[in-house]
Structure 1
Amino acid sequence: MPIVFNVSRDGVDADTTDRNKLVVTSLDTELKIIKKNSGTVSVGAGDSDATLKQHHGLGYAPAFLSYFEYPDDLGRYWLSGTGLGTAGLSAYRSQSAVTNDLIELTANRSDAGPGAFSQNFAYYLFDQPAGMAPSGSGKPIGYQESAQGIIVSKEGFDADKAKIYEQQFNSNTDYLKYHLTIPGKIVFDTTNDGEAIEIITHNLGYIPIFKVYAKAPTKSVYNPLPIGRVPQSFFSSAGADKTNITINIGWVGGGGPGSVFPYRVVIFKNKMVI
């Protein structure tokens, strides 16, 4: 019979407590944070963009999250992508990509002038390869305890040999820790070019790792922000500071007053490394 590995808080029985109250359980598939980093991408005078490449050494393209702080909006980190940036007014953009060897971070300004500028970034690389469904069933059959820590493998893998993404638990790695999900909707009230902004208060006192999903009025599925879509010219982005998460939606041409954009804000307990 497969081993079920549970870790509870002090004073709580790991065998009988509710699954949602466990600190770690092998019945869940959790993302391990393999590497995290922050820094600056500097763009030279007269240039519109620059790309910083950093080796991660994982040997595969990992799932990741990345964020950028724009020069005219210090203190708030925006999801990397082709979104509108700072409340729809910023000329600054950002982009990120991963390969089997690198993470590439690009800072951009659409109205490049003579002056140099820089953008701060923060990123997280996870154990799961990008675009790959989680392996194993989530029920571990392997257990190893040594001076290097505790490792529990997923079903079908040897704990002594399992790769990091074949492990259910590794006491030497940090995990993406879920905090809460906030649902809501933005009602677009502009018939011409415009934007709508939603501010959600989290009150954590620090900038958390977060992700936002939204659904366009004519679509049936939620997409992760930032989103850029043509021919509708629908763009969006989201950023977080120590108090709030700001969602920005811009729709060139608009969909008319009353167009509704449902969203889901997912907040994690992890403090952003900046």
Structure 2
Amino acid sequence: MTETQTRASGGVQSVDRAFELLELVADAGGEATLSQLAEASGLPQPTIHRLLRTLISGGYIRQQPSRRYSLGPRLIRLGETASRVLGASARPHLTRLRDLTGETSNMAVLDGDQVVYVAQVPSPHAMRMFTEVGQRVDLHCTAVGKAVLATLPPAEVDRILSRITMSPRTIHTITNPAVIRAEIDQIRELGYAQDDGEQEIGVRCFAAAIPDAPTRAALSISGPQARVSGLDMNTIIPLLRDTATALARDLNAGG
């Protein structure tokens, strides 16, 4: 954000820049060098160094012995509180999604190179999916993970895929980065992602990204393959997208 834009928005430039640095460190996987931050932000290194010293003194950034900068422990409490707030906001939407589909509904947000579940409303069926809130899962083999990846710029997707180990969770897990990139392109076109036994045998999930959310996030439904495969996709996919859009409005209300 330029100084003129900051003044026009009523913001404080140094605060905007400090938050931008935190976001850039997070985008880099939680750790970055001074030169990387300078290149990504376009700010002079002395300015970045001054801001980082302030963030370090507050516990929001930590300097490693390697002189790389990583996210600090003070952010943990903020993140946990934010996750609870996001989960509470999502619950009415997830409940409606569960009631209309009969399947477990979930919300997950991007956290480093994985996604973490922040809310869930379980299916009423005896045989159902249950994912613990707070559980972290991989991006390449989950519908929520792939839906979130599809919201990122291609260059950022490439950086993430170069960092992660695309371990096979089942015989259906895609472990080829080129295949994942092609699927992400398709997800961007279709507006939804799916996981067909890629994370867990016998489980099928559909997910849609939450547009313009304060953080990269997605909603999903999940359940036994046989039952989920019998759902009407012409109804389910628009329902997922509409629910994600409605939740985005709630999250951004008053922002």
Q: Same fold (TM over 0.5)?
A: no
* Band of TM-score, shorter chain: under 0.3
Structure index of larger Rg: 1
Taking structure 2 as the reference length, the TM-score comes to 0.24
Taking structure 1 as the reference length, the TM-score comes to 0.22
Q: Which has the higher strand share?
A: 1
Q: Which has the higher contact order (CA 8 A, sep 6+)?
A: 1
